C-alpha cells in the first residue's frame, strides 16, 4: 500500500507489520514502504488503514493512533460524542457479535465472490471491553493495535472480509475513536486481488467515504474508469450493482470497485458530493 505523501509524511518503520495471511496474495508494491490506493480529500486528515497481505501490512493513517502488529487466522466472521459530566444515557453497544453488511457480490470464472464488513460497537467501560474482546476472538477478529481489553474502550472496530469460491480471508481492519467519521471528499481505500493467492493485477478496491459522497470514480491502469453512485434502500440491499452503500454500525458509507479483467487499480477519488 502507499499513501499520498501529504497524508503519509510521518510514517516510520514501526508503521509496518508482517502478516501471515494468504501465501501469495497481496497489494501492489510501489513507493516505499509499500503501495496502496489511499486518497484524502480537501482536509487531508492523517489516518491509518491496514490491508492484510502475505508480505506486508501498510499503515496509512487514521484519526487516532493505530499501530497494527499482527493478524488473526482466517476464521469465519461472516455471521450475520461528547464528553459527559454525568452517566451516559446512550444504549449499550452490541458486545456479543458484530453488525454485518454485504458490500458487494458477483460471479467470475464460475465462482461466486463477495465482500462484507463486520462492525463492532465501542465499549464504554472495562467490563464491556473484556466481553467484546472475548467475542472478537471467537470470531477470529482481533485488532492488531489492541494490547489489552481496556484499549477497546471508546473505539469501534471494523473488519472487511472477502470470499472467492471456497476461499475466505480478512483483507482490511482498523479501530476508530467513537465519533470519528469521514467528511466532504475524504476517502480511504485499499486494493487487493479478487482471487486470493493468485497473480495478475490488483483489481479489487474497497473504501469508505462520507455520507455526503454521491459518486466515487475508480480509474484503472488501462485508462478506463468505473463510476459508482450512492445507493440506498432496495437498490443498496439488492447488491445488483457496484455502488456506495451504508454499512450497519458504521458512521460512513462504503464502496467496492472491481476492475475489468486484464487491468488493475490506479486511483480512486470522490468526484461528486450531495
- The β-bridge partners of 219 are 225, 267
CA distances from 174 to 85, 142, 156 (A): 29, 10, 9
* Residue 146: band (very low, low, confident or very high) from pLDDT cuts 50, 70, 90: confident
pLDDT higher than threshold 80 for residue 183:
yes
Q: What is the pLDDT of residue 90?
A: 55
What's the rounded Cα separation, in Å, for the pair 43 and 80?
Answer: 35
pLDDT value of residue 16 = 31
Domain limits, the chain: 13-76+92-273
List the single range of 69-78, 161-170, 188-197 with lowest mean pLDDT.
Answer: 69-78
pTM, two decimals, is 0.70
Amino acid 216: pLDDT: 97
Q: What pLDDT, on the 0 to 100 scale, is given for residue 94?
A: 75
pLDDT (tens digit per residue) in 216-266: 999 999 999 999 999 988 888 888 889 999 999 999 999 999 999 999 999
Q: Cα 212 to the chain's mean position, in Å?
A: 18
First to last CA, the chain: 29
Amino acid at each position: 500500500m502507499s499513501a499520498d505523501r501529504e497524508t503519509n509524511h510521518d510514517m516510520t518503520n514501526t508503521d509496518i507489520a508482517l502478516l501471515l495471511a494468504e501465501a501469495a496474495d497481496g497489494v501492489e508494491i510501489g513507493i516505499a514502504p509499500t503501495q496502496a490506493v489511499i486518497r484524502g480529500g480537501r482536509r487531508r486528515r492523517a489516518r491509518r488503514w491496514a490491508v492484510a497481505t502475505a508480505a506486508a501490512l501498510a499503515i496509512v493513517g487514521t484519526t487516532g493512533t493505530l499501530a497494527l502488529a499482527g493478524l488473526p487466522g482466517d476464521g469465519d466472521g461472516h455471521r450475520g460524542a461528547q464528553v459527559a459530566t454525568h452517566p451516559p444515557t446512550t444504549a449499550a453497544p452490541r458486545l456479543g457479535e458484530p453488525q454485518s453488511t454485504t458490500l458487494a457480490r458477483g460471479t467470475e470464472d464460475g465462482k461466486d465472490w463477495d465482500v462484507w464488513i463486520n462492525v463492532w460497537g465501542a465499549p464504554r467501560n472495562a467490563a464491556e471491553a473484556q466481553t467484546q474482546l472475548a467475542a472478537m476472538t471467537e470470531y477470529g477478529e482481533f485488532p492488531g493495535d489492541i494490547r489489552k481489553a481496556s484499549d477497546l474502550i471508546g473505539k469501534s472496530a471494523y473488519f472487511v472480509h472477502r470470499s472467492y469460491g471456497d476461499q475466505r480471508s480478512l483483507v482490511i481492519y482498523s479501530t476508530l475513536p467513537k465519533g470519528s467519521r469521514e467528511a466532504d471528499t475524504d476517502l480511504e481505500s485499499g486494493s487487493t486481488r479478487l482471487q486470493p493467492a493468485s497473480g495478475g493485477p490488483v483489481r479489487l478496491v474497497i473504501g469508505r467515504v462520507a455520507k455526503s459522497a454521491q459518486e466515487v470514480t475508480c480509474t484503472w491502469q488501462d485508462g478506463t474508469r468505473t463510476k459508482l453512485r450512492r445507493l440506498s434502500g432496495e437498490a443498496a440491499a439488492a447488491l445488483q450493482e457496484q455502488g456506495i452503500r451504508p454499512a450497519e454500525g458504521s458512521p460512513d458509507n462504503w464502496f467496492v470497485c472491481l476492475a475489468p479483467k486484464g487491468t488493475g487499480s490506479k486511483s480512486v477519488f470522490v468526484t461528486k458530493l450531495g
